[in-house]
Amino acid sequence: MTSPITHLNNAGLLVRMFIDGEWTLPEHPTRIDVVDPSTEEPIAGIALGGRADVDMAVAAARRAFAGWAATSPESRAQFLDRVHALLLERVELFAQAISQEMGAAIGYARSAQVPLAAEHIRVARDNLATYPFITHRGTTAILREPIGVCGLITPWNWPLYQITAKVGAALAAGCTIVLKPSELSPLSALLFAEVVQDAGIPAGVFNLVNGDGPGVGAALSAHPDVDMISLTGSTRAGVLVSQAAAPTVKRVALELGGKSPNVILPDADLARAVAPGVAAAFRNLGQSCSAPTRMIVPRRHLREVERLSREAVSGMVVGDPRAEATTHGPVANRAQFERVRQMIDVGIGEGARLVCGGAGRPEGLERGFYVRPTVFSEVRSGMRIAQEEIFGPVLCVIPYDTVDDAVAIANDTVYGLGAHIQGGDLEAARAVAARIRAGQVHINYPAWDPSAPFGGYKRSGNGREYGIEGMEEYLETKAVLGFS
């Protein structure tokens, strides 16, 4: 296998667009370096595309749409099965790319970033075996048909995982695609495009255009021949995409920011609740939109929670992401590095109690975008660190007096993406879950379920990804009266 990452053109830029079944150069390329966050050194250069490249990709997707939409669910499932198999064959290649481009610890890239991404393809394939694309209601037939050409915009923090969540569902539905991956972590996207190519995708069904938000993202969102935009990103980016898409009245599905609560109920076993909660908050170094970064705990247990949190952090190994012993690498890019450091200073300035961590790099790490896993206690819900999405390893421990107070604190945010609840009485935990305004709630740290729909309330977005609901985002509903 020859990777497109090794294909450099004469200008030293990566061959970076995949349009209409071919690797091609942008019409007017501009170079951007991909930086290894562990060294702060460039590891590759990519050429950013623009509006003309989006026009080419959309035209290719439009030409391919009728043929792909007419294929049988069984044929689309067979294609997805090949994609799934190739992803599993190339786990190490993807893991190395993800570790380099966004700093994921290599063990985490191998065990989570890549295999969980492959699961989205498997679920999309399996859904096709049973999904009722035609149902009947009396003499009326209800048809679920592919919406058309879809622009997919994915983030840098889970670069492959978010691609497969969207691409698998869209291809299963019968849609054609123009993908814009993050320009900050594009290498795994190029590898994925190669997988799709090697799996035998018809020309034009899947297209990839690298670029930034103001260039490629805006052009995709406003394009009159794009029927749907699906974005995973910041709330600010979601607003801009929605505004750009509004004049063409296309469907917009948004998975945006979060400030997820983890409610520790009074009867919870702290030994089983706290350490996994810290681990969940710092999963992917806190660079997850659904990370439970607000731990809401009974006031009488505050000091014990602090002790257990400190112990949990002490077991983390921050360092070279390619070292096998490392559990947490650097944050993914300089902008995020500065953001996390700034918000740690904000927390200290707001008067929160610093349990562990703090400003500055971890000891012994003088270069790279490394930050210290940080826990604040005695946080009040109105503090900036409790309200703003930091997107790094910063946990806020917020005390409460009654369960009603805990629910109020949990809902005291503009976001509503995820939530966690820990408790010994399952019925009580379920009752609290019913009161949380979030799209996905986890009780007592259950196993990840790739079929569970995922998405947000409030400013965390609209629409759902994963599972059946994720595929249905890419379907239109047509009623045919007098069908039978």
Task: Please report, for residues 232, 408, 464, the alpha-carbon distance to residue 221 in angstroms, rounded to integers and kept in the order given.
Answer: 13, 36, 19
Examine the residue annotation and report whether 101 is marked as an active-site residue of this protein. Answer: no
The distance of Cα 456 from the centroid of its chain, to the nearest Å, equals: 13
Task: Please report, for residues 98, 105, 110, 245, 391, the alpha-carbon distance to residue 321 in angstroms, rounded to integers and kept in the order given.
Answer: 10, 4, 12, 39, 18
For 147, the 3-state DSSP assignment is coil
For 326, the 3-state DSSP assignment is coil
Segment holding 219, helix H or strand E: helix 218-222
Q: Among the options 101, 119, 194, 255, which is catalytic?
A: 255
The distance of Cα 273 from the centroid of its chain, to the nearest Å, equals: 25
Cα dihedral across residues 146, 148, 149, 154: positive or negative: negative
Tokens of 193: 């495009």
Contact 435, 421 (CB under 8 A): no
Sole residue written with tokens 């421990």: 397
The distance of Cα 271 from the centroid of its chain, to the nearest Å, equals: 30
Q: Which residues contact 279 (CB under 8 A, 6 or more apart)?
A: 312
What is the maximum alpha-carbon separation in the chain? 74
C-alpha to C-alpha distance for 251 and 180, rounded to whole angstroms:
17
Tokens of 375: 């826990």
Other beta carbons within 10 angstroms of residue 175's beta carbon come to 27
C-alpha to C-alpha distance for 417 and 259, rounded to whole angstroms:
8
C-alpha to C-alpha distance for 363 and 365, rounded to whole angstroms:
6
Please, what is the Cα angle at 457 between 448 and 181, to 5 degrees?
65
Query: Could you write out the three-class secondary structure of 241-252?
Result: HHHHHHHHCCEE
C-alpha to C-alpha distance for 428 and 223, rounded to whole angstroms:
49
C-alpha to C-alpha distance for 451 and 133, rounded to whole angstroms:
18
C-alpha to C-alpha distance for 191 and 193, rounded to whole angstroms:
5
Question: Catalytic site residues?
Answer: 255
